[in-house]
Structure 1
Amino acid sequence: MAGRREAPLMRGGGASGQPLSRGSRIAAAVAVGVTLGCVCAFIYPDGLISRSPDSAIHWPRRVDSVACKTPKEVANVKSQLASLERKNAEFRKQIDELSMKLQLAGQGKNQAFYSAGPFGTVKALRTNPTVMPDESINPRLAKILQQVAVKKELIVAVANSNVKETLEMWFTNIKRVGISNYLVVALDDNVEDFCKSKEVPVYRRDPDEGIDSIGKTGGNHAVSALKFRILREFLQLGYSVLLSDIDIMFFQNPFDHLYRDSDIESMSDGHDNMTAYGFNDVFDEPSMGWARYAHTMRIWVYNSGFFFIRPTIPSVELLDRVARRLSCEPKSWDQAVFNEELFFPSHPGYEGLHASKRTMDIYLFMNSKVLFKTVRKDAQLLKLKPVIVHLNYHPDKEQRMKAVIEFYVNGKQNALEHFPDGSE
């Protein structure tokens, strides 16, 4: 077989004898240059021109640097690296915290941004920062709160002379449990004198024509509406308040059962897990044919007679909104307004309240419907000791309150039996 004749490398023609194109010649020159460069790098690893060891531009080779280090030195370097990594992690944490503070300081101003973490690790803010306390708002109340509150928290009830007997049951029960951080806001002189005679912490507000007239003569709903305006000063002074109606019996210290992770923690009017904590309710409209079923999210209202409110900006805004509406809508029910302001979302023409909220455990913070409709008929649930029982569902409050005390305090097993589930 005849051997194939290869074209000389540097000749100007290809295998066919045709001259190489200009592009091919350039490519060949580049290939030759790269080859020569590799050969020189192999033969002269330190370069063609020798450099003084003391030269400012002298860089020792990595292999020489590593080779001269002892195991002790290597361990020391690793320790230093670990220390730097820890400090770096601390710096990152501080940066994240500063970013969070900047975000809070610039709420509504788009002044702060921070990146989201890995999937499944991101968690939004739950607990808003507390307001800056301002004792100049009410120096007299500030002095009382310093003496009464525990860890800047206290139970507050608002009362006038119309409910003196129920009020006495309320604070007698609180004393029995051993709760010391509570305060009665007296709406008239009679209640103030009565509380002082019973050694009950009491605060009589400074004269206020509008509030005083309602406080002295108003019924339950009228008095209940005043609490939103009254509580504002407590929050401005930097105190968290557990607002309590006086038709409530205490059996444990409620401060041992709060989460404190929201602006508002409230007991529910719901009577089971679905109604208290939320459920998917399907609305049926047959005339819509294929689209007849519409899913709705529902929850029974929060009870405005027992809730824990922290001194935050959203909390103060909630009190302002409710108080303003009740002053302009005298026929409105304070509990309905309270829930509307808490839950209605922003929509065209309305900006909703940006407050975090938590529903209290319905078997610890128990309303009277839960007790008389469910708990008293269940042997297992009867073994539970509630934190409070609120007689909000029944008008015969005093009789039922006494029966509840007989059952949970004095152990009278049949104390609740003769009452109907509801009112007659």
Structure 2
Amino acid sequence: MVGRRDGSLMRYNVQWIRRSRITVAIAIGILLGCVFAFLFPHGFFGSYPQIHGRRAGKASFQVGSSPCELPERINMLKSESVSLSQKNSELEKQLRELTEKLRFAEQAKDQAEKQVEVLGGKHKAGPLGTVKSLRTNPTVVPDESVNPRLAMILEKVAVQRELIVALANSNVKEMLEVWFTNIKRVGIPNYLVVALDDKIANFCNSKDVPVYKRDPDEVIDSVAKTGGNHAVSGLKFRILREFLQLGYSVLLSDVDIVYLQNPFNHLYRDSDVESMTDGHNNMTAYGYNDVFDEPAMGWARYAHTMRIWVFNSGFFYIRPTIPSIELLDRVAGRLSRENAWDQAVFNEELFFPSHPGYDGLHASKRTMDFYLFMNSKVLFKTVRKDKKLSKFKPVIIHVNYHPDKLSRMIAVVDFYVNRDLNALKRFPDGSDW
């Protein structure tokens, strides 16, 4: 009996000890839980109340939003859409600019490689048809001491060290306004007006147009204030010299020109001078074999001549090279000594070859596409009457063949920009003297 009682008592003690341990463990667990709950109110591993808050907010919007909040949300989304659209437009513009810079850099690299190849030393001639001579002369070293004030202006205005330059006095104020209005509309940033009097300088400043007023110069100022179109046109060869000395390429422009595209996207830049033509078809613009007939010579009555219609001195691209500067010096020098038309002198110096008593200018030249860089003879005599050609959009229209310049410029804008198909019809092909 005693043995049984002792065994039962022992089993009871063991069970009680086990239960006590479980109870203690539970108590310890509860105690630790309380401690952790106090020390870590958001959980032992941390929680993210801001995320919960967003979720809660989103849920509250979806479930408990008032009708007034929905239009606000829609307006906010519309505003974000407009903002994204604007950013997309800016990115597209930047992409176009980068593409143009890349194309310009590749063009410059190609020209530099050709210069190194030709100027790097003596070379043997390659196989038939593989030899190419140098066309692009190296540029001069920029000299800012020539005109520090102009150098500062050009640094701000020019893009890739090139810009459009126009000379103007008060006599051409109305045409000048049409000129720069269309330049702005196209989005050309690199242009500059050389003001030949204070009125034009003030006018440009009032219209937020980049302008440069030269320092006083007796010879230039006397012509600038009272001179007509031809006299003012002759000044540009003297004034442009400083631009080239400073190391900038210039697209010289008269003010009787309407810009419809950015001309810098259509230049080759492989010659000293790249000019628009007064020609009106492939033959006259790019050259042809003209046969002169003299019957008295009998068997030798036919003499072959090479002809090309002149470059237009009112719109040409000139690079800062030694031949280019020599061209400006030659033309300016002759115009100061002779009573001559600047365009005639410009072409004579470009094209006349060396001969006894005369050393010709060794400058490379290129004729621009006469449908892209169009004169007013091509427009009024041919293009406006042709359904296919009239749909083509030129880069510029130069109203050089007609004296009623302003009215024709406005009509050109109406035709190409405002799409008034009747805008050009009232004008004759030529001019009424």
TM-score bucket of the superposed structures, by smaller chain:
0.7 to 0.9
What is the CA-CA distance between 1:383 and the residue it aligns to?
Answer: 1.3
2:282 aligns with: 273
CA distance in 2 between partners of 1:163 and 1:394 (Å): 15
Kept in 2: contact 1:192–1:203 (CA 8 A): yes
CA distance in 1 between partners of 2:249 and 2:300 (Å): 47
Matched position secondary structure for 1:341: helix
2:426 aligns with: 418
1:194-248, Cα deviation, whole Å (9 max, x unpaired): 1001100000011111101101111000000000000000000000000000000
**Runs of at least 5 residues in structure 2 that lack an aligned partner in the other structure:** 1-111
2:399 aligns with: 391
Larger relative helix fraction: 2
Matched position secondary structure for 1:145: helix
**Aligned equivalent of 2:364, options 356, 365, 368:** 356
Q: Does 2:308 correspond to 1:290?
A: no
Kept in 2: contact 1:153–1:181 (CA 8 A): yes
Matched position secondary structure for 2:192: strand
Q: Does 2:257 correspond to 1:239?
A: no
Kept in 2: contact 1:156–1:242 (CA 8 A): yes
- C-alpha RMSD of the superposition: 1.4
* Residue type at the aligned position of 1:129: P
* Residue type at the aligned position of 1:206: D
User: Superposition pairs for residues 101-140 of structure 1, below 5 Å?
Assistant: 101-102=119-120, 113-140=122-149
Matched position secondary structure for 2:137: coil
Kept in 1: contact 2:115–2:134 (CA 8 A): no
Matched position secondary structure for 2:327: helix
Are the structure 2 counterparts of residues 292 and 218 from structure 1 closer, same or farther at C-alpha, using a change threshold of 3 Å? same
Matched position secondary structure for 1:414: coil
Matched position secondary structure for 2:370: coil
**Aligned equivalent of 2:378, options 370, 373, 377:** 370
**Aligned equivalent of 1:319, options 315, 318, 328:** 328
**Aligned equivalent of 1:230, options 239, 243, 249:** 239
User: Superposition pairs for residues 34-53 of structure 1, below 5 Å?
Assistant: none
User: Superposition pairs for residues 36-75 of structure 1, below 5 Å?
Assistant: none
* Residue type at the aligned position of 2:289: N
1:164-188, Cα deviation, whole Å (9 max, x unpaired): 1111111111111111100000111
1:215 aligns with: 224
CA distance in 2 between partners of 1:174 and 1:119 (Å): 46
* Residue type at the aligned position of 2:258: M
1:338 aligns with: 346
Are the structure 2 counterparts of residues 212 and 95 from structure 1 closer, same or farther at C-alpha, using a change threshold of 3 Å? closer
1:31 aligns with: none
What is the CA-CA distance between 1:116 and the residue it aligns to?
Answer: 1.1
Q: Does 2:276 correspond to 1:258?
A: no
- Please, what TM-score do these two structures have when normalized by structure 2? 0.73
What is the CA-CA distance between 1:114 and the residue it aligns to?
Answer: 2.1
Kept in 1: contact 2:249–2:320 (CA 8 A): yes
* Residue type at the aligned position of 1:391: V
Percent identity between matched residues is: 77
* Residue type at the aligned position of 1:231: L
CA distance in 2 between partners of 1:358 and 1:95 (Å): 20
**Runs of at least 5 residues in structure 1 that lack an aligned partner in the other structure:** 1-93, 103-111
1:200 aligns with: 209
1:163 aligns with: 172
Matched position secondary structure for 2:269: coil
* Residue type at the aligned position of 2:305: T
CA distance in 2 between partners of 1:175 and 1:369 (Å): 26
**Aligned equivalent of 1:305, options 305, 310, 314:** 314
* Residue type at the aligned position of 1:207: P
CA distance in 1 between partners of 2:124 and 2:332 (Å): 39
* Residue type at the aligned position of 1:188: D
Matched position secondary structure for 2:171: helix
CA distance in 2 between partners of 1:310 and 1:238 (Å): 8
CA distance in 2 between partners of 1:220 and 1:354 (Å): 29
What is the CA-CA distance between 1:190 and the residue it aligns to?
Answer: 1.0
**Aligned equivalent of 2:415, options 398, 407, 423:** 407
1:148-167, Cα deviation, whole Å (9 max, x unpaired): 00000100000111111111
What is the CA-CA distance between 1:113 and the residue it aligns to?
Answer: 2.9
2:51 aligns with: none
What is the CA-CA distance between 1:364 and the residue it aligns to?
Answer: 0.4
2:152 aligns with: 143
What is the CA-CA distance between 1:115 and the residue it aligns to?
Answer: 1.4
Kept in 2: contact 1:99–1:113 (CA 8 A): no
Matched position secondary structure for 2:366: strand
Kept in 2: contact 1:276–1:359 (CA 8 A): yes
* Residue type at the aligned position of 1:101: L
CA distance in 2 between partners of 1:314 and 1:333 (Å): 21
**Aligned equivalent of 1:152, options 161, 173, 182:** 161
**Aligned equivalent of 2:118, options 97, 100, 118:** 100
CA distance in 2 between partners of 1:349 and 1:211 (Å): 31
Kept in 2: contact 1:96–1:114 (CA 8 A): no
CA distance in 2 between partners of 1:191 and 1:346 (Å): 42
Kept in 1: contact 2:248–2:319 (CA 8 A): yes
**How many residues in Structure 1 have an aligned counterpart in Structure 2?**
321
